[in-house]
Amino acid sequence: MRSSTLLKQTRLDKDLTVEDVSLKIKIPKKYIIALESEDKKCFPDEPYCSLIIKDYADYLGLNGQNLVKLFRRDFDHRNISRKINNYSGLSITPQLTFKIGLLLTLLCFLGYIFFEYQKFNRPPPLRVNWPQHISELSNTIDINGVTDSEATVRINSDLILLDNNGKFSKKIKIDNLQQITVESQSPHGKKTTIEKRVQDLL
């Protein structure tokens, strides 16, 4: 016989109601009903569950310790050691919410630090738009491109102004020039350099 059936049958044999038992041994009626009907989701937490079963069994004249063992045999330990949530095995408590929020905040902070570290240590991006099909008779060319708006750009050591989007443009004379060097330097001293031979542009 199952432990729940034994408890209920013994109570009925003694002509006791659930209310009688609840008042006598000071156990909430809902727990007595849950234990007798095997409503596992309403079982109390341990060790309260085992104490209730023992007191209930002792009151009915049964061996409380044996009933506790029988009850544990009848039900998976996980079902009597905690209440089962109808929708999830995880109970969302204020403490858990706080811990999750703290963890997410820490992860965001670490992510920000990592991003800033990477930004600090990497050279600025640089794209140069070289002119196409320059006439050999031309002595100037127009060079433009884009880089980080906080960077400093030099073309053959000449400082070039940037707009708010990091774009730059400059006409330079190519008389007697063998090579054109475009350099972008971050505020932290990291450099990106692109070079082009003048001969390759003709």
**Six-digit token string for 194:** 């692109």
Q: What is the pLDDT of residue 75?
A: 72
Report the predicted TM-score, pTM, of the whole model to 2 decimal places. 0.42
- Domain positions in the chain are 3-81, 92-121, 126-201
Model pLDDT for residues 55-89, shown as the tens digit of each residue: 888 998 988 888 888 888 877 544 444 443 444 45
Average pLDDT over residues 8-18: 89
What is the per-residue pLDDT for 136? 62
The 10s digit of each residue's pLDDT in 110-149 is 888 888 777 777 899 999 998 877 666 678 888 999 999 9
Give 146 or 11, the one with higher predicted confidence. 146
- Residue 19 identity (one-letter amino acid): E
| Sign of the C-alpha dihedral computed for residues 107, 112, 113 and 118 taken in this order | positive
Q: 183 or 175, which is more confident? A: 183
Task: Say which CATH class 3-81 falls into.
Answer: mainly alpha
Tokens of 150: 């906080």
Question: How far, in Å, CA of 116 to CA of 120, rounded?
Answer: 6
Confidence of residue 11 (pLDDT cuts 50, 70, 90): confident
pLDDT on residue 84: 38
What is the rounded average pLDDT of the residues 1-13?
85
The residue behind tokens 């209930």 is 56
Which pLDDT value is given to residue 71? 84
Of residues 180, 176, 182, 181, the one with CA closest to residue 201: 180
- C-alpha to C-alpha distances, 4 to 12, 22, 78, nearest whole angstrom: 12, 16, 17
Q: Is the pLDDT higher at 76 or at 109?
A: 109
Q: Looking at residue 183, what is its pLDDT?
A: 95
pLDDT of residue 137: 61
Is pLDDT larger for residue 90 or for residue 176?
176
Confidence at residue 105, expressed as pLDDT on a 0 to 100 scale: 92
Domain 126-201 listed as CATH 2.60.40.10? yes
pLDDT band per the 50, 70, 90 thresholds, residue 91: low
In sequence order, which residues have a C-beta less than 8 Å from that of residue 94 and are 6 or more positions away?
Answer: none
